Amino acid sequence: MDLEFSKADEDYRQRLRAWLRDNLGEGGSANAVMRQAEKDPGAAKDPLAGARAWARRLHEAGYVGLAWPKEYGGQDASFTEQVICAEEMARVRTPPLINTIGLTIIGPTLVQHGSEEQKRRFLPRILSADDLWCQGFSEPEAGSDLASLRCRAELDGDEFVVNGQKVWTSLAFLSNWMFLLVRTDPDAPKREGISYLLLDMKTPGINVRPLRNAAGGQHFSEVFLDDVRVPRDNLVGELNRGWSIARSSLDHERSGLSGVIALEETLGRLWRMAGGLKRGTDQALADAGARRALAQHWIEIEGLRHLGYRTLSDQIAGKPPGPGASVGKLFASEVRQEMTRTALQLEGPLGPVAKRSPHVVERGRWHAAYFDALAHSIGGGTSEIMRNVIAEKVLGLPRLQDD
C-alpha cells in the first residue's frame, strides 16, 4: 500500500487551502458565508439557511461528493483527494455539514443500487443540501435484530401504502426525505420480505414526535406512518430484495463513523484543556498517569488512521466498504468514550458540575461529550453487534444461532 501523496495530490491540497482561506471568515471557524445567508430576508423561513449556504458553497466549489460520478453532480475524484479534503477541512475546523446522512449513507447507496432516474433525481439535491435525509430503519421491536421489522407496505396500483412506526430517527424533524425499510411480504423468511423505499416527508399520514436523549438534547424522533402512500418509482432495487441494500447502507454508515479526524480534533481539545488545568499547585499534566492516558489515546487514533488507510486502499481497488467497516466503528466508539472518561478524570470533582454552575469547567463540554460518546456505541449498530459481525464476517467464526 502506497501511503505517499503524489505531486498532483499536494497541488490539490494547496488549491483547497487557498479556497478555504478565501471562503472562511475571520478566525476560520466563524463562517462569513453562513452569517451572510442568515441575514438574507428570505432566511427567516428557513432556520437552516446558514448551514445550507455553506454546504452549497462547498458543493459549487467541488468539495462535496468527491467520489460520486460527475454525471450526478459528483467529482469522480480519487480517494486520496477525499482524504486530503477531510484533513484540510478538519485542520481549519470548517462548520459540520448538515446533510451528512444524505452524503454518507443514502447517496452512496443510490450510487450503488439506485435506478438511473433515482440517481438523477436525488443525488444532485443531496449534494446541494436542497434535500435533507433521515434513516428509517429502527423500530420499537427491531434494532439490533433489524430484520424483525414490522412496518408494512402493501402495493395498491402504482403506490405502496405504508403503516407502522420507526424510532430513534436522527434529524427526522429537519429532514424532507427518509429512506426506510418496510415489510412487503409477511409470509417470506424475515430477510426476504423486506423492501427499501424513499419517502417524501411531506406525504400525508406522517407524524414526527421528537425524543429527548439522556444528555437533554433533541436529536432524534419517533415517526408514525398511517396509510402513507409512496409511489412505486420510489422503490430502490427489487421488491422484497431490500435487505442486501440495507446491508450496504449500514456498511457505508459504519465506514463513515470511524471518523479519525473528528477523534484527532477531540484529542487536541483534550490536550488544550489538560494543559490549562491545575491540581492544587501542580499542573494536571505533571501527573504521569494523565500523560500516559493521553499518549495511549494518540496511539489508538494512529491505529485507527492506518485501519482507515487499509479501507481506503480497498476502495481504490473498487471494493465497497464491507464488514471491515465494523472494526473501525467499534474501535472509534471505544476510543471516543475513553477520551471523555480521561477528560472527566482530569477535571476531577468539578467534572460532573452542571452547565450553569459558576464552578463549571469548559462550560460542561466534557460532561456533555461523555454522554454523547455513549450513544456512539449504540447508533449505527451496537458494539456487541459489531463484535458479532467481526466474529462471523471478518474472522469466519461460526454463527451462534441461525436467525
Ligand X SMILES: Cc1cc2nc3c(=O)[nH]c(=O)nc-3n(C[C@H](O)[C@H](O)[C@H](O)COP(=O)(O)OP(=O)(O)OC[C@H]3O[C@@H](n4cnc5c(N)ncnc54)[C@H](O)[C@@H]3O)c2cc1C
Task: Just list the catalytic residues.
Answer: 253
C-alpha 180/C-alpha 382 separation (Å) is 19
Pick the closer one to ligand X by CB: 13 or 113.
113
Under the binding rule (CB under 6 A), the answer on residue 23 touching ligand X is no
Q: CB–CB of 37/49 below 8 Å?
A: yes
What cell numbers appear for 172 in the block?
427526522
- Single out the residue of 144, 207, 244, 283 in contact with ligand X (rule: CB under 6 A): 144
Closest CB to ligand X belongs to which residue? 143
Minimum Å distance from CB 381 to ligand X? 5
CB 28 within 8 Å of CB 88: no
Residue 384 sits in the site that holds ligand X (CB under 6 A): yes
| Candidate list 58, 284, 375, 389; residue touching ligand X; CB under 6 A | 375
147 makes contact with ligand X (CB under 6 A): no
138 binds ligand X (CB under 6 A): yes
Element (H, E) at 255: helix 242-257
Shortest separation between residue 211's beta carbon and ligand X, angstroms:
10
At position 154, the amino acid (one-letter code) is: E
Contact segment (CB under 6 A) with ligand X among 35-43, 118-126, 356-364, 372-380 equals 372-380
What single DSSP character describes residue 159? Answer: E
* By CB under 6 A, residue 99 contacts ligand X: no
Q: What are 162's strand-pairing partners?
A: 153, 228
137 closest CA partner among 60, 233, 245? 245
CB nearer to ligand X: give 57 or 336: 336
Question: Which letter does DSSP use for residue 395 in this model?
Answer: S
Residue 381 within binding range of ligand X, rule CB under 6 A: yes
| 3-class SS shares of the chain: helix, strand, coil, % to 5 | 50, 15, 35
User: What minimum distance in Å lies between the beta carbon of 352 and ligand X?
Assistant: 21
Does position 143 interact with ligand X (CB under 6 A)? The reply is yes
Give me 204's grid cell: 400525508
Tell me the three state secondary structure of residue 168. strand
Provide the 8-state DSSP code for 184.
Answer: S
- Closest to ligand X by CB, 123 vs 134, is 134
Q: Is 14 exposed, middle or buried (0-12, 13-18, 19+ CB in 10 A)?
A: exposed
Residue window 219-248: x/- pattern of binding to ligand X, with contact defined by CB under 6 A? -x----------------------------
Q: Which is nearer to ligand X, 78 or 388 (CB)?
A: 388
Q: What angle do CA 143, 144, 145 make, to 5 degrees?
A: 90
CB of 1 to ligand X, least distance (A): 32
- Decide if residue 137 touches ligand X (CB under 6 A): yes
Work out whether 266 is an interface residue with ligand X (CB under 6 A): no
Find the binding residues for ligand X in span 161-220 (CB under 6 A): 168-170, 220
- Cα–chain-centroid distance for residue 30? 23
* Cell 439490533 sits on residue: 144
For residue 134, the cross-strand partners are: 178
**Residue ranges binding ligand X (CB under 6 A):** 134-138, 143-144, 168-170, 220, 375, 378-379, 381-382, 384-385, 388
